[in-house]
Chains A and B, each alone.
Chain A
Amino acid sequence: DQQVKQNSPSLSVQEGRISILNCDYTNSMFDYFLWYKKYPAEGPTFLISISSIKDKNEDGRFTVFLNKSAKHLSLHIVPSQPGDSAVYFCAASEYNFNKFYFGSGTKLNVKP
């Protein structure tokens, strides 16, 4: 009964191309979404977030899209760089709760 799902365990992309990481959720009470990036032997680091009142948020090469009706969000990385190779987690939070529900992660490999 995982409420946040990342159905692609891994993704391989050529340097310079677009990386698209997907995330689905089931809980309609979620209203805040975040993407975290994790390198081996390090803790997750915050990447980008989006509130449910928006459908897009952009920060440099990273853009997050939210489709509330489909309960789907995606992270676009353009252009992808080898240093982007890491595990990416999406996370969601309910209104008035301060804990995250995480997906199982997608391992991104950007090939030079």
Chain B
Amino acid sequence: ETGVTQSPTHLIKTRGQQVTLRCSSQSGHNTVSWYQQALGQGPQFIFQYYREEENGRGNFPPRFSGLQFPNYSSELNVNALELDDSALYLCASSSGQDRTNLDGYTFGSGTRLTVV
């Protein structure tokens, strides 16, 4: 199986609810990063996981949390949803935690989250 797959592709949630987004990494990749792309903006780094441990975090509040599983698949959880959380959430996988493989980041197609 190749490529990064994300589920669901679209999701509508109500303000205050919780949401879980899922990502299946490309085969052989042990690092996963999550990005938030608001409308008209570039992707913003949320956090990265390497071998099930958080390996860097962007400027997002604690209600954004993540998990990486032994098979290197990953989840992004967002609690207490706010209207501004409406965005495309992108997952990217790569091999290794350092900078030697920045070209090798593979992005999924994203989950479009709408908070109403």
Chain A interface residues toward B at CB < 8 A: 4, 6, 9, 32, 34, 36, 41-46, 49, 89, 91, 93, 95-105
**A103 and B48 within 8 A (CB):** no
B113 shortest CB reach to chain A, Å: 15
* Interface residues of B, dominant DSSP: mixed
Can you list 6 A-B contacts with CB-CB less than 8 angstroms, sorted by A residue number?
Answer: A43-B106, A44-B107, A91-B42, A93-B102, A98-B97, A104-B42
B66 beta carbon closer than 8 Å to chain A: no
**A100 and B45 within 8 A (CB):** yes
* Interface residues of A, dominant DSSP: loop
Q: A42-B109, A43-B108, A46-B105 are in contact. Are A99 and B58 (CB under 8 A)?
A: yes
Closest to A94 in B: B99
Report how far A98 CA is from B48 CA in the complex, Å. Answer: 9
